[in-house]
Amino acid sequence: MTRYYAAIVLALIVGRDALARSPPVEDLHPPVNLWHRDTLTGDWGGLRTALAEQGITFTASYIGEVFANVQGGMKRGTIYDGLFLPQIDVDLEKLAGWQGATFRVSMLQAHGQSIATRYVGNLIGISTIAVVPPSTRLYNFWLQQNLFHDALSIRAGLITVDQDFFNSTVAAVFMNPGWLGLGLPGGGPAYPLPTPGLRVRVSPPELAGGYVQAAVFSGDPTGKNGSTSPTIGIPSGTVISFSGGAFFIAESGYTLPQDKDDTRLPTAVKVGAWYHTSRHFEDQRFATNGLSLADPASTGSPYEHSGNWALYASVEGSLYRSGGGGELTGFARAGGSPSDRNLIPFYAEGGIAYKGLIPGRNNDSLGVSVDYARISSRARGLDQDTRFFTGNPLFPVRNYEMALELTYQMQVTPWLTVQPDAQYVFNPGGHVLNDNGTVRPNALVFGLRSAINF
């Protein structure tokens, strides 16, 4: 956190000098009406514009949401959770003449509870912002250098993989999270846990719309030894970890060309793969002595595999454009990994979103999505072993988890969105028992999110 506050102080000092070199405040752009400006706090009397002209951009957002599990899952209940994310971006070319260089520093403060872990009991999750436990941490702290007219981009520092890999513009409309790192230590170097890393991206000008990128990250963002044991807790503060092996990922993509005046979302196709070097990926069925973990004669400690990997692919783009400016977009992505060391070896999701469905509400989006997670054959085998050793033929055998989401994102003002949401979760946890011994029933969750840009 000391680095973060030091960066703020430095930026304010530079900002003071920027104002001194800028036109008087009264000569800058006149103030814009509260309901029409891009941010809630406006231009700060001209300071924001003056800083931006010198390459310093301040942004801050707050997302708050209420979720209620009204049926099924572990139990009924309501939660509130929120996320505050202040950020400073510095264009070092404007500020100091360092051509092609940019710098970012940000922190996050996540609070409240998770409806998924407290009341629903599902694996995929319900919210893209929920963090357990509540956390305050440094989130971004990186330097990026672009070379050869942006054909080569290099980023290094404290970063997350989901900023550049396995992402989707259309999927960002939905609240249900999607990421292939559920079997990685701490969930992988993705939100909300950054790690030291290096990302290199090549976008050859001869292949307009095409790119290849690769990155390497420290293996365990929790600061532990790379274990995937569910008993390993998630840190609530900043952890700069170089432990737990290394995480490698590579992705190639191509965006289909379109006319320069075409404002539709272009069609983009991506394929990628990752590999993790940790030696502590727990087997989903067998113990260290080769017996089933359900066998009383086993050691009770899962056999640990060395290394883990996954392959994935995604596609998104515009599906339909109406004469009135409405646009239907869609996305689909899927990935697979080894069944012996991953509880979810296959994950797929897809959805469609229509922007501008209601006349006069051109920036609103209505979306429907589905997420599917297949439980591994090893985990199903363990459940069958449990049936045998306990003599209980009714013990549930896990199979899959699936979620349907219906959401409507309303752009109330340029700086405020409000989003009602409904999700129906089939087999929360993959078809498991609740604490009372009954099979966990399908869950129905309603939510309301608001997002403010300051």
* CATH label of the domain that carries residue 120: 2.40.160.180
Model confidence at 8: pLDDT above 50: no
User: In the numeric block, which tokens belong to residue 388?
Assistant: 């045998």
Q: Which of 343, 427, 439 has its CA nearest to residue 395?
A: 439
User: Helix (H, G, I), strand (E, B), or coil: what is residue 55?
Assistant: coil
Model confidence at 20: pLDDT above 60: no
Rounded Cα distance, 256 and 187, in Å: 32
How do residues 199-209 score in pLDDT, each as one tens digit?
999 999 888 88
Let me know whether 123 and 248 are in one domain: yes
Section 21-28 average pLDDT: 43
Let me know whether 141 and 8 are in one domain: no
Q: Amino acid identity, residue 144?
A: Q
Question: Which residue, chain included where needed, has tokens 């087997």?
Answer: 283
- pLDDT value for 30: 58
Query: What band does 324 get if pLDDT is binned at 50, 70 and 90?
Result: confident
Output 260 or 56, whichever has higher pLDDT: 56
For 238-261, the DSSP string reads ------S-EEEEEEEEEE----TT
Least confident of 144-148, 197-201, 227-231: 227-231
User: Helix (H, G, I), strand (E, B), or coil: what is residue 273?
Assistant: strand
Torsion of CA 451, 160, 266, 182, to 10 degrees: -90
How do residues 229-275 score in pLDDT, each as one tens digit?
776 778 888 989 888 999 999 999 999 988 877 888 899 999 999 99
Let me know whether 44 and 72 are in one domain: no
Let me know whether 50 and 61 are in one domain: no
Output 28 or 374, whichever has higher pLDDT: 374
User: Helix (H, G, I), strand (E, B), or coil: what is residue 50?
Assistant: helix
Give the other-Cβ count within 10 Å of 343's Cβ.
Answer: 20
Model confidence at 24: pLDDT above 60: no
End-to-end alpha-carbon separation of the chain, Å? 21
Let me know whether 235 and 382 are in one domain: yes
How many domains is the chain built from?
2
Section 373-383 average pLDDT: 97
In this structure, are strands 443-453 and 416-426 parallel, antiparallel, or unpaired? antiparallel
Let me know whether 15 and 134 are in one domain: no
Q: Amino acid identity, residue 326?
A: G
Model confidence at 339: pLDDT above 80: yes
Residue 284 is classified by DSSP as E
Burial class (CB in 10 A: 0-12, 13-18, 19+), 102: buried
Section 342-350 average pLDDT: 96
Query: b or e along 407-434 (b: 16 or more beta carbons within 10 Å of the residue's beta carbon)?
Result: bbbbbebebebebebebebbbbbbbbeb
- pLDDT value for 31: 65
Let me know whether 109 and 179 are in one domain: yes
Least confident of 221-225, 336-340, 441-445: 221-225
Let me know whether 196 and 266 are in one domain: yes
Rounded Cα distance, 335 and 349, in Å: 10
Rounded Cα distance, 8 and 302, in Å: 46
**Domain ends where: 54, 81, 97?**
54
User: In the numeric block, which tokens belong to residue 63?
Assistant: 């997302």
- Measure CA 136 to chain center: 17
Question: Which residue, chain included where needed, has tokens 């003449």?
Answer: 97
- pLDDT value for 178: 74
Which range of residues forms the domain containing residue 22? 1-54
Let me know whether 69 and 158 are in one domain: yes
Least confident of 13-17, 96-100, 134-138, 417-421: 13-17
Q: Amino acid identity, residue 276?
A: H
CA geometry: angle at 126 spanning 69 and 400, to 5°?
95
Model confidence at 25: pLDDT above 50: no
How do residues 381-421 score in pLDDT, each as one tens digit?
999 999 999 999 999 999 999 999 999 999 999 999 999 99
For 189-240, the DSSP string reads S-TT--EEEEEEEE--TTSTTEEEEEEEEES-TTSSSS---TTSPPPSS---
Section 76-92 average pLDDT: 98
Let me know whether 66 and 33 are in one domain: no
Let me know whether 23 and 121 are in one domain: no
How do residues 161-177 score in pLDDT, each as one tens digit?
999 999 999 999 999 98
Percentage of the residues of the chain whose pLDDT score is greater than 70: 93
Tally the C-alpha atoms within 13 A of residue 87's C-alpha that lie toward its C-beta: 17
Section 371-383 average pLDDT: 97
With the C-alpha atoms ordered 180, 114, 284, 222, is the resulting torsion angle positive or negative? positive
> What does the mean pLDDT of the chain come to?
91
- pLDDT value for 433: 97
Let me know whether 131 and 251 are in one domain: yes
For 72-106, the DSSP string reads SSS--EEEEEEEEEEEEEEEHHHHH--TTEEEEEE
CB contact at 8 A, 367 and 351: yes
Burial class (CB in 10 A: 0-12, 13-18, 19+), 33: exposed
Rounded Cα distance, 424 and 220, in Å: 32
94: left (phi over 0), alpha (psi -120 to 50) or beta: alpha
- pLDDT value for 21: 42
Model confidence at 96: pLDDT above 60: yes
Output 343 or 9, whichever has higher pLDDT: 343
